[in-house]
Amino acid sequence: MIRLHQLSKSYGDQPAVRGIDLEIPTGQLVGLLGPNGAGKSTTIKMLTGMLAPTSGTAEIEGFDIDRDPLEVKRIVGYVPESGALFDALTALEYLRFVASLYLIPEDEAEVRIARFANFFDLDGDTLTGKPLSAYSKGMRQKVVITSALLHNPKVVFFDEPLNGLDANAALSFKTLITSLARDGKTIVYCSHILDVVERVCERVVIIHEGRIVADGTVAELRERSGAPTLEGAFNRLTATENLLARAEEFARVLSQ
């Protein structure tokens, strides 16, 4: 269970997240949507213990993010949007390093790494033969995802996890997260690719300008907004309905 109560974050006098109230039951797969700068990543960073909230509280599986940050971090996995890795290491070295940070015994870590490598088609030579700087974007993303799941977290936050993945890997990943949710893991999935969210998430929360503006199943959001698709509902809820007209105007100005 994830529980947020009036969670807020400001940078100086600039509010990024404004008093969010939210409950996500254990085992639910929730899509967290919002335009750029809406406050999604800030919210996730607070929930993963990376950022201190300005006010409000949040609990993950009963642990307060402020009082028990280490307990929270032990049960949380996080795929950051940046997909950043220590480029001078090989994938195997990086994954062993992450395993050591979660205090996973070395032999157990090897087994888990091998299991993920097998799932993502990363062979032994790829894992050990070159530094991460030589990896393609998709390969790097596979390593980032593996590193987030290595400690078998109860709650996983995915921030744009499909970045760079090819069609097959993306399909495998979508199957993976639905399986993880079926196994009782709580998953928060942050993305701009709305059709994927529409297909895999049982519930969608839309944040706009630091506030929750919609919360419900995809069908409920469509019905409430009167739009035929999640994309349409998103556009209406985040005040970008005149997007088409603005795009046409932009193209006209550009060709002058």
Partner 1 sequence: MSAVPRAHDAADPERRRPVPDPIQVRAILVATLRRATRGVAPAGHRGRPRGLLFLLFTYGVMGLLLGLLPIVGTDVFTFSLVIWSATFMMSGMTMVAESSTLLFDPRDHDILGHRPIHPRTLLAARALSLIALALVLGLAVNIVPMFTGIVARGSRPWFPIAHLATLPFMAVFCAGTVVFVYALLARLVSRRVFDTIASWTQVGISVVLLVSYQLVPRLMDRLGTFRLDSAHPALLALPPTWFAGLSMVVLGVETGARALAMAASAIVTTVVLAWSANRFLAEGYARQVAALGEASAPAAPARRSPSRRAGTSRLGALLGVVMRDPVERGAFRLARAYLARDRDMRMRIYPSLALCLVFPVLAILDPRGSARMGAIMTIFMIGSLPATAMMTFKMSPHYAAAELFRYVPIHGTASIFHGVRKAMLALLVVPGLLASGALLWFGTGEHHALLMGLPALMAIPTLSLLDGVVGDYLPLSIAPTSGRQGAVNVGMMVFGFVWLATFAGLGALAEDKGWFWHMVAVEAVVLALVHPLLLRGIRARALSRAEG
- Nearest approach in angstroms of CB 210 to partner 1 is 13
In the complex, the smallest distance separating the C-beta of residue 70 from partner 1, rounded to whole angstroms, is 5
CB of 148 to partner 1, least distance (A): 9
Q: Which residues bind partner 1 (CB under 8 A)?
A: 11-12, 14, 16, 48-52, 69-71, 73-74, 76, 78, 80, 82, 84-89, 93, 96-98, 100-103, 106, 125-126, 128-131, 133-136, 147
Min dist CB 17 to partner 1, Å, is 12
Q: Measured over all CA atoms, what is the biggest interatomic distance in the chain, rounded to whole angstroms?
A: 65
Q: CA 33 → CA 47, 169, 195, 201, 218, distances in Å?
A: 16, 22, 12, 11, 12
Here the tokens at position 197 are 């969210």
Least distance between partner 1 and beta carbon 157 (Å): 9
Give Cβ neighbours of residue 96 (< 8 Å, ≥ 6 apart).
Answer: 106, 109, 113
Task: Report the residue number, 90 or 225, with the smaller CB distance to partner 1.
Answer: 90
Q: Let me know: does 76 contact 157? Beta carbons within 8 Å.
A: yes
The structure tokens listed for 196 are 């994927």
Nearest distance, CB of residue 197 and partner 1, angstroms: 23
Nearest to 81 by CA among 145, 172, 166, 16: 145
Q: Which of residues 78 and 234 has its CB atom nearest to partner 1 in the complex?
A: 78
Question: CA torsion 244→246→249→253, rounded to 10°?
Answer: -130
> What is the phi/psi pair of residue 140, to 5°?
-60, -40
